[in-house]
A and B are shown apart, each in its own frame.
With several copies, the nearest count.
Chain A
Amino acid sequence: MTVRVIAHGFDPGGQTNLFLKEHNSAGAVVTFTGLVRSSPSDPITSLMLECYPDLAINQVETILAQGLTRFELLAATIIHRYGTMVPGDPIVQVMTMSPHREAAFEGAQFLMDYLKTDAPFWKKETGPTGTKWVDAKSADDRAKARWK
């Protein structure tokens, strides 16, 4: 299991290929990649992601350990970037590996749901109308609650 909290960009496909080499008996690998989003209804020009690195490492390692215990995962990796990014840049990547595809899918969803609410990152968006901190979403709390 690997946790990386980084201040620079990363190569999503390159990370998937590195992860695939970890076990060749896995069968099922799921990669989730979260990108900076800009939409016509909510356009942004940049995203600043603030981080508390010491706490981020502790929280992300705890989340990953929970995921590995709870699902039948042979391996899992979480990469989370912080700093200033533009639309299309990868922010986060979660990778899971299992003999069974359900476990790989569910493990990756679990890890993402927990990262959204429990990892100490804060998003600040800049768009044509100015700059604002992103509010925490109640939908993210609900997504996490289903794993209780």
Chain B
Amino acid sequence: MNILYFAWLRERLDRSQQQVEPPEHVKTVADLIDWLAQNDEAIALAFENRKLIRAAVNAQIVDHDAPIADAHTIAFFPPMTGG
């Protein structure tokens, strides 16, 4: 699946996207963050305060307990400041 990063998350990770193949036991957005953080110190630091992290699965905003079984694209970003 493809992971997208936006705003200061993108800048701190120095990447706007990456391809990952998480193992079977990674079932939710929260599981995915844990798994990514275990394998990447930059992600562990940038995602430290989970309350600041919003997520979207296939371009739909979801909570961190949402399943990712059918996900082809998962996006992570800070609180939105549009308008």
Contacts and interface: CB of A to CB of B under 8 A. Distances in A.
Interface of A: 34, 49-50, 52, 54-55, 58-59, 80, 91-92, 112, 115-124, 133-137, 140
Contacts of B23: none
Contact residues of A: prevailing secondary structure:
mixed
Given A52-B77, A122-B78, A112 B83 contact: yes
A112 B61 CA distance: 19
A133 B83 contact: no
A55 B75 contact: yes
28 contacts: A50-B7, A52-B4, A52-B59, A54-B73, A55-B56, A55-B60, A55-B75, A58-B59, A80-B83, A92-B82, A117-B79, A117-B80, A119-B80, A119-B83, A120-B77, A120-B80, A122-B6, A122-B81, A122-B82, A123-B81, A133-B8, A133-B78, A134-B81, A135-B79, A136-B78, A136-B80, A136-B81, A140-B83
B28 to A, nearest CB: 19
Contact residues of B: prevailing secondary structure:
mixed
Contact of B83 (A50, A55, A115, A124): A115
Contacts of A133: 7-8, 78, 81
Interface in B1-36: 4, 6-8, 10
Contacts of A117: 79-80
A123 B6 CA distance: 11
Contacts of B56: 52, 55, 120
B6 A120 contact: yes
A70 to B, nearest CB: 18
B61 A55 contact: yes
Contacts of A91: 83
Nearest to A136: B79
Nearest to B73: A54
